[in-house]
């Protein structure tokens, strides 16, 4: 594999290079799927880092270390895990809305419209002044300057962007702001005594995680912590848009409750939950939760020893710090879709997305890694901790790993074999039926990861923590 990716993560955790000897990564290297970007190497490195952090926690509990094994091919498949779900034998993956995509604009430029959620779709249609019709949208976008359309959609609370080359993005002020940040920051934000891990027979037994994230990256973080024994409670609200198939994909291992943060009594209930939590993971745009008394500093005062994991689209600095974004938006503006389209043209000309949701899932794994590192630090030295990362920082890290030579990209398969998917899959009984899905990737020598709870619909449980093991 590309050792550069894992070395970066060892450094973030404060580990020396010898820690890499505790990991076996097998199954080949990139290219695994049809993209020049090193999605397999970065996936394997991210999951290896999670495994090492979990091994640290297990050693704190028992005095015993664990070795970690990662199959690079299985790790790559996990970057589009929803693709391999079936519910009662029928495909259960989420379908992108037909309006979501890249459209030609003026002067040979291209514009991406993110239309999966109704509110973002309505924003784009409002700016374009058309009904929900693909051809009408295409004609309208063709009349726009791509940069002006990007700004108009953002101003209308939508999501999307102008397609840039990698060279153009490198000259953008936001790219400079992201480049000035490390991949991820883990910082102490408050003092408190060291806290022993709760009792239990799994690495994260009794660790309580509040998951206030949506779509893929943040929910993947919480799902990853759940597979090592954490009690995860996802919090959302009925008025927030959602995609059921994504909840099947990222909901493994979680309790799932509704709280409406527009209501003071629900904010109070959330603060009660946070006062008994160990990890608080949120993906709201910077400053949003501070208005509800849920900033990192506020929670550190309410619950000394909290590990606060904060996800944003474009990082905590720069002109786009408060801008909403998604994996596909970051791909679009940073040159990834431009490069992918030149090497692997699609059925329609123009920029193309790579074949997985790498930035989303990688960010989720990195968030889980950061949370586990912070929990170990809390146990050793005490304190409250803030883990900060953005989709743009992950995207930059992915690009920094370099690209596969074009000569090596010939005859790369589009998918894994049926036998591989069957070997990597498991089955869960969920409220909607029998769900076949990918199981956890990491193989630990003593505590194999698994999900103790099936995925359930949003709001399925009451917002109450289960009792910790006696």
Q: What is the DSSP string of 421-443?
A: HHHHEEEEEETTEEEEEEPP--E
By the 10 Å C-beta count (0-12 exposed, 13-18 middle, 19+ buried), 80 is classed as buried
Phi/psi for 204 (5° steps) reads -110, 20
Phi/psi for 45 (5° steps) reads -65, -45
* Residue 304 placed within a domain: no
| DSSP reduced 3-state for 401 | coil
Handedness of CA 415, 417, 420, 424 (dihedral sign): positive
* Residue 438 placed within a domain: no
* DSSP string covering 94-157: PPPPTT-EEEE-GGG-EEEE--SSHHHHHHHHHHHT--S-HHHHHHHHHTS-HHHHHHHHHHTT
Q: How many domains does the chain have?
A: 1
Structure tokens at 209: 């995680």
CA distance 255 to 244: 15
Report the Cα 314 to chain-centroid distance in Å.
13
Please give the chain's pLDDT, 470 residues, in tens.
Answer: 558 999 999 999 999 999 999 999 999 999 999 999 999 999 999 999 999 999 999 999 999 999 999 999 999 999 999 999 999 999 998 888 899 999 999 999 999 999 989 999 999 999 999 999 999 999 999 999 999 999 999 999 999 999 999 999 999 999 999 999 999 999 999 999 999 999 999 999 999 999 999 989 999 999 999 999 999 999 999 998 888 888 999 999 999 999 999 999 999 999 999 999 999 999 987 778 888 889 999 999 999 999 999 999 999 999 999 999 999 999 999 999 999 999 999 888 899 999 999 999 999 999 999 999 999 999 999 999 999 999 999 999 999 999 999 999 999 999 999 999 999 999 999 999 999 999 999 999 999 999 999 999 999 999 999 988 76
**CA dist 227 to 51, 109, 451, Å?**
11, 44, 5
Q: What is the pLDDT of residue 2?
A: 58
The helix/strand count (H/E) of the chain reads as 17, 17
* Residue 459 placed within a domain: no
* Residue 112 placed within a domain: yes
* Residue 19 placed within a domain: no
- Which residues is 86 bridged to in the sheet? 91, 436
DSSP state at residue 195: -
How many other β-carbons are positioned within 10 Å of the β-carbon of residue 2?
A: 16
* Residue 92 placed within a domain: no
* Residue 124 placed within a domain: yes
Residue position matching structure tokens 């999307």: 160
Burial readout 388-419 (b: 16 or more C-beta within 10 A, e: otherwise): bbbbbbbbbbbbebebbeeeebeebeeebeee
CA distance 379 to 357: 34
Contact present, 124 and 115 (Cβ < 8 Å): yes
Q: What is the pLDDT of residue 259?
A: 97
Contact present, 161 and 338 (Cβ < 8 Å): no
Q: What is the pLDDT of residue 197?
A: 94
Contact present, 230 and 380 (Cβ < 8 Å): no
How many other β-carbons are positioned within 10 Å of the β-carbon of residue 166?
A: 14
DSSP state at residue 189: E
How many other β-carbons are positioned within 10 Å of the β-carbon of residue 162?
A: 20
CATH number at residue 108: 3.30.1540
Return the axis-axis angle of helices 39-62 and 3-13, rounded to nearest 10°. Answer: 40
- Which residues is 307 bridged to in the sheet? 279, 385
| DSSP reduced 3-state for 311 | strand
What ranges make up the beta strands (E) of 259-374?
A: 279-282, 307-312
From the CA atom positions of the chain, what is the Rg in Å? 21
Residue 77's closest CA among 416, 367, 388? 416
* Residue 38 placed within a domain: no
Domain membership of residue 119 as a residue range: 101-177+328-335
């Amino acid at each position: 594999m590309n050792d550069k990716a894992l070395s970066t993560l060892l450094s973030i955790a404060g580990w020396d290079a010898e820690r890499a000897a505790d990991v076996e990564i097998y199954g080949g290297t990139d290219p695994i799927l049809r993209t020049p970007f090193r999605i397999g190497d970065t996936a394997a490195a991210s999951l290896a880092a999670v495994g090492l952090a979990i091994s640290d926690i297990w050693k704190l509990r028992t005095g015993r270390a664990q070795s970690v094994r990662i199959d690079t091919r299985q790790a790559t498949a996990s970057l589009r895990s929803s693709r391999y779900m079936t519910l009662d034998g029928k495909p259960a993956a989420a379908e992108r809305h037909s309006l979501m995509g890249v459209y030609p604009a003026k002067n040979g430029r291209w514009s991406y419209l993110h239309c999966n959620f109704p509110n973002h779709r309505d924003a784009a249609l409002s700016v374009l002044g058309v009904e929900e019709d693909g051809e009408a949208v295409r004609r309208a976008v063709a009349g726009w300057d791509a940069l002006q359309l990007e700004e108009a959609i953002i101003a209308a609370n939508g999501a999307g962007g102008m397609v840039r080359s990698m060279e153009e993005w490198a000259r953008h002020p936001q790219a400079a702001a992201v480049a000035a940040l490390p991949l991820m920051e883990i910082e102490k934000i408050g003092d408190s005594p060291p806290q022993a891990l709760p009792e239990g027979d799994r690495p994260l037994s009794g660790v309580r995680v509040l998951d206030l994230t949506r779509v893929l990256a943040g929910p993947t973080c919480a799902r990853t912590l759940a597979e090592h024994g954490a009690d995860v409670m996802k919090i959302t609200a009925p008025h927030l848009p959602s995609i059921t198939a994504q909840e099947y994909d990222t909901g493994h291992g979680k309790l799932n409750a509704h709280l409406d943060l527009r209501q003071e009594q629900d904010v109070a209930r959330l603060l009660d939950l946070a006062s008994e939590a160990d990890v608080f993971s949120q993906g709201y745009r910077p400053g949003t939760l501070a208005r509800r008394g849920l900033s990192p500093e506020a929670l550190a005062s309410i619950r000394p020893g909290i590990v606060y994991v904060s996800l944003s689209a474009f990082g905590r600095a720069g002109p786009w710090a408060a801008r909403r974004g998604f994996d596909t938006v970051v791909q679009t503006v940073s040159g990834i879709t431009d490069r992918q389209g030149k090497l692997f043209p699609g059925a329609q000309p123009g920029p193309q997305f790579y074949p997985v949701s790498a930035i989303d899932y990688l960010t989720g794994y990195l968030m889980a890694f950061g949370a586990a590192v912070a929990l170990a630090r809390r146990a050793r030295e005490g304190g409250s901790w803030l883990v900060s990362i953005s989709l743009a920082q992950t995207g930059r890290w992915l690009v920094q790993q370099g690209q596969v030579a074009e000569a090596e990209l010939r005859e790369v398969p589009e998918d894994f074999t049926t036998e591989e998917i069957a070997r990597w899959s498991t089955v869960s009984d969920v409220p909607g039926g029998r769900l076949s899905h990918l199981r956890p990737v990491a193989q630990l020598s003593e505590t194999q990861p698994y999900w103790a709870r099936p995925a359930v619909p949003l709001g399925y449980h009451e917002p109450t923590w289960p009792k910790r093991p006696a």
